[in-house]
Structure 1
Amino acid sequence: MKKLTAILLSLLMVVGLAACSGNTEQTGQSSTPQSAENSSPAGTTDNESSAPTDSSSTPDKEEGTLKVLVAYFSATGTTEGVAEHIANGLNADIYEIVPEQPYTSADLDWNDNDSRSTIEMNDPNARPAISGSVENMEQYDVVFIGYPIWWGEAPRIVSTFMESYHFAGKTIVPFCTSGGSGMGSSASNLEKLTSNAVWLDGQRLNGSDSQDEVMEWVDSLGLDK
């Protein structure tokens, strides 16, 4: 009887030890940390954190300003002074139309039927040559064109200038100086020498006008500077 009891106790001890060993392995597996998941975030989180978020990388487009040229012919300096007032007031570029053959006092004698200026103005097809040229005319949005009035018209050299460039898409503003006569048909005749340009109404100005007086007219044009 004692021997049987001893055998039963031994069997119970073996079963108990086996059970304890199984519990220990299960507990060890469940306590193993998921180190790969805990040490790095999900892929989408990496992508989001590395994406640029600086909105300044696409700056707002600044409103452009008009590029203006003031071109003029001045045989005696009167028109030059007015052109300089406009250029200074608009912070514009300025270009003088200079003849290859300068005009002398005798050339400008309107009482002489044989003077150079008289002969030129009596010939609508006369085109006196210009010394030099405007660089990058295509960059300008607005072109002021100034001249004295000769025999009720713009000097023929201004026609040479107008036919030397393409003014399509540009705004052209004529102005003149004279001893008393107005612009007459001078601006409309120059307009005929261009195509697809927008011509604004011109103005006769005086060589004695101050910059403020000249700019009062310029400001009335409503140019978007």
Structure 2
Amino acid sequence: MKKLTALFLSLAMVLSLAACGTNASNETSAAPESTGNTEEPSSQPETEGEAGGTLVVYYSATGNTEQVANYIANITGGDLFELEPVEPYTSDDLDWTNDNSRVSQEYYDESLRDVELVADTVENWDSYDTIFIGYPIWWGIAAWPTDGFVEANDFTGKTVIPFCTSSSSGLGESGQLLAELAGTGDWQEGMRFRSSASEADVQEWLDSLNLS
């Protein structure tokens, strides 16, 4: 009888220990798993869309300024915006050796230089911080179709960098005159390119600007 009682007691103890082990195991698995980092992950800064972008605006009479503008856009990743007169200039219009040509008449009579553009404002203008403005040189100044764009926009808070193309004339006061016409913006010293300018020439100039 004593042996039978001892056997029952031993069996009861074994069952009791097994139950305790099961409970301990369940509690452990229910605990959160440690990752070694108790801080919540920091949130990523929100992007500002196109803010801080670059815009390359240009008027090109014969294609030379357009080529340089394309180089600038390719190198900087900027957007292009072409200034197009409602009444485009023909080759005869651009014959500066003819006093009766359109461009000559506009030169002699400043009241004729108010050239209407297809568009003189840019969508998402506020998203651009850096504006390149390109044009050919006409009689030592920026080709006047450029004026309408400059007058129509507020350059406050923007860095403005003029560039021009010319076979002989330099940049002259063209950039300064445009800055005065605009009345706003941080206008930088510009650059004049020959019609034969290469992308490497433009790259060298852009590198010298140290744009962020």
TM-score by length of 1: 0.71
| Matched-pair identity in % | 44
How far 1:102 moved relative to its partner?
A: 0.6
Q: Does 1:212 align with 2:197?
A: no
Q: Does 1:160 align with 2:148?
A: yes
Runs of at least 5 residues in structure 1 that lack an aligned partner in the other structure: 1-51
How far 1:172 moved relative to its partner?
A: 0.4
C-alpha distance in 2 between matches for 1:140 and 1:191 = 18
Does the 8 Å CA contact 1:142/1:171 hold for their aligned counterparts? yes
Structure 1 ranges of 4+ moved more than 2 A: 58-66, 121-126
Q: Partner residue of 2:24?
A: none
Q: Partner residue of 2:15?
A: none
C-alpha distance in 2 between matches for 1:124 and 1:190 = 15
Q: Partner residue of 2:123?
A: 135
Aligned residue for 1:189, secondary structure, equals helix
Q: Partner residue of 2:97?
A: 111
How far 1:116 moved relative to its partner?
A: 1.0
Deviations along 1:56-96, whole A, 9 cap, x unmatched?
2x335679973100000001001100000000000100011
Runs of at least 5 residues in structure 2 that lack an aligned partner in the other structure: 1-37
Does the 8 Å CA contact 2:59/2:84 hold for their aligned counterparts? yes
TM-score by length of 2: 0.75
Instruction: Give the number of equivalent residue pairs.
Output: 172
How far 1:194 moved relative to its partner?
A: 1.4
Q: Partner residue of 2:44?
A: 59
Q: Could you tell me which of 96, 103, 106 is aligned with 1:120?
A: 106
Deviations along 1:101-153, whole A, 9 cap, x unmatched?
01011110101112111122233442100012421212110100000011111
Q: Partner residue of 1:11?
A: none
Task: Sort the Cα spacing of 1:66 and 1:215 in 2 relative to 1 into closer, same or farther, 3 A.
Answer: farther
RMSD between superposed Cα atoms in Å: 2.0
How far 1:195 moved relative to its partner?
A: 2.3
Does the 8 Å CA contact 2:131/2:158 hold for their aligned counterparts? yes
Q: Partner residue of 1:16?
A: none
Structure 1 residues 66-85: aligned runs within 5 Å: 66-85=52-71
C-alpha distance in 1 between matches for 2:152 and 2:72 = 23
Q: Partner residue of 2:21?
A: none
Aligned residue for 1:193, secondary structure, equals helix
Structure 1 residues 161-180: aligned runs within 5 Å: 161-180=149-168
Q: Does 1:202 align with 2:196?
A: no
C-alpha distance in 2 between matches for 1:140 and 1:205 = 24
Aligned residue for 1:223, secondary structure, equals coil
Structure 1 residues 5-24: aligned runs within 5 Å: none
Aligned residue for 1:86, secondary structure, equals helix
C-alpha distance in 1 between matches for 2:192 and 2:99 = 26
Q: Could you tell me which of 181, 201, 204 is aligned with 1:193?
A: 181
Q: Partner residue of 2:75?
A: 89
Task: Sort the Cα spacing of 1:222 and 1:124 in 2 relative to 1 into closer, same or farther, 3 A.
Answer: farther
Does the 8 Å CA contact 2:117/2:145 hold for their aligned counterparts? yes
Does the 8 Å CA contact 2:154/2:184 hold for their aligned counterparts? no
Q: Partner residue of 1:144?
A: 132
